Amino acid sequence: MKKRILMLAALLLAFSLFSCGEAAATGAENTAGTTAAETHEYIPPKTQTIDPTTQNEAVQGDDEMTKSYTIDAHEAGGITIPTYTIPEANDDMTSKRNTDVTFPAHNRGEDNTNSQFVGANHIWPRYSRSGSDTLTDGAKTTLELGASTIKTYVTHLNKTSYYTADQWGDAEMNTPVDMVTHPYYLALFDMELDTYVLGTYIFTSEFGHPAVYFSSHFPEEARKLEYEQLYELTYYLCKKYEGTGKTFIIQNWESDWACVPYSENREYPTKDILDRFIRWTNTRQDAVMAAREAAGCSDVYVYHAIEVNRNIDGMNGHPCVLYDAVPYTYCDFYAYSCYDTQENDETFAASLDTMLKIASENRAGGASRCYIGEFGWPHELGSQMRTDIAERVLRIAREKGFSHAYWWELYGYIKSEHTYWLISDQNEYSEAWNKLYKFVNGKDCEAYHA
């Protein structure tokens, strides 16, 4: 029962973040019927739903023929973006791509420290402990934890949804570059952190909600805008922060839910949805790769990731993003929002093994890496479960060589019956905070009182 409540709460939160009117009904149905995998051993991918021989037809038949575009040189965020070309959609779904990507030690799970491994999601905070803007305040709390990585959002909804406690001013923000040149982000990126995970989408709702619109269509204008905005964000970050050694990972939100965002019953993604999701993902990955090559990226690292969240579906023989989309992509990273398996050692370990195996056989030829994008448990449903899940995820993800793990969430995000905070608006340090603190620092936090 508690598992059902947790997954329902997490899904309702995510959908409320995306302002989906059908969220309440959807969340209740989407958690129904969840079962544990019958076996805890690695299960090879079943016959994939994507037929590579039909990809050209699929790409051309979505809304219109694709074409290439030349974007003239211009300034973005004080950085000159040289002329570049957005190529036609790449309909080859079998060739290896991105096989030579490399990672610094602080992003390699086998080499980084616990402080570089552990972080927290800092999305939709309701308060600031220091009185400063919530982004900078969250970074300060992350450093207090002893961690050097944080996960935030960069979207056109920041001002109206995710970071409403802050005063953003009247400056227009029409692109991700406009957002990260705001003083809040300039201050955040100037903090002594080495890895920033940025939940990032195109700055428009013209095609539908930017996190999920591909579930119904992926028109050519959307493909062009996805490429353009991610290319320019990547180029900007490479040039602005060259020589700092910092890492920026651009990712999406839980792909399995994004593929079926308005389902009134427990549904799985269809072939058409997975086709569009793969093309959407590869468009974004192509943009990031092209931009970092053009920029040179000297002692700064910009990567792209997608986040999966229903691995258990694939382990039980149902369609899911991990099994049916990841093999056709070549992302730098794959994140895992792991609420579906985090409650059991064997199931969680099997899910990570499966993820590593499938990612190693994707179109990047084994070059991709994985991290935990979300894990957590509501404060109200039991402190022992919170500490058990924190211990399990950190221990097993570390053993498996995952690069990072991000708790959901650093601060309280909504006034509801379920909260996941590490530190409350009353400055109360939770048992989960202490567990993460001890993992990083090797001792209990003095500010925590059991």
Give the separation between CA 282 and CA 329, rounded to whole angstroms.
Answer: 6
- With 0-12 / 13-18 / 19 or more C-beta atoms within 10 angstroms meaning exposed / middle / buried, residue 54 is middle
Least confident piece of the model among 43-52, 331-340, 368-377, 403-412: 43-52
Grade residue 415 by pLDDT with cuts at 50, 70 and 90: low
Do the bridges between strand 369-375 and strand 405-407 make them parallel or antiparallel, or are there none, so unpaired? Answer: parallel
Closest CA to 229 of 205, 259, 249, 203: 203
Tokens of 265: 């019953």
Which structural domain range is residue 152 located in? 58-441
**Does 43 map to a domain?**
no
**Does 15 map to a domain?**
no
**Does 235 map to a domain?**
yes
DSSP state of 381: G
* Helices 345-360 and 383-399, packing angle to 10 deg: 40
Count of domains in the chain?
1
Give the separation between CA 326 and CA 363, rounded to whole angstroms.
Answer: 9
**Does 1 map to a domain?**
no
Total residues found in the chain within this entry: 450
Examine the pLDDT at 345 and tell me if it is beyond 80: yes
Give the separation between CA 40 and CA 35, rounded to whole angstroms.
Answer: 13
18-71: per-residue pLDDT in tens? 433 333 222 323 333 333 333 333 344 443 343 333 333 333 345 557 899 999
**Does 53 map to a domain?**
no
What average pLDDT does the structure give for the chain?
86
**Does 50 map to a domain?**
no
**Does 220 map to a domain?**
yes
Q: Work out the average pLDDT over 404-415.
A: 88
**Does 394 map to a domain?**
yes
The percentage of the chain sitting over the pLDDT mark of 70, rounded to a whole number, equals 84
- Confidence (pLDDT) at 58: 38
Give the separation between CA 160 and CA 372, rounded to whole angstroms.
Answer: 27
Closest CA to 353 of 410, 402, 295, 299: 402
CATH of the domain at 265: 3.20.20.80
38-52: per-residue pLDDT in tens? 333 334 444 334 333
93-142: per-residue pLDDT in tens? 889 999 999 999 999 999 999 999 999 999 988 889 998 999 999 999 99
- Confidence (pLDDT) at 401: 98
| CA dihedral sign, ordered 273, 275, 280, 282 | positive
- Confidence (pLDDT) at 51: 39
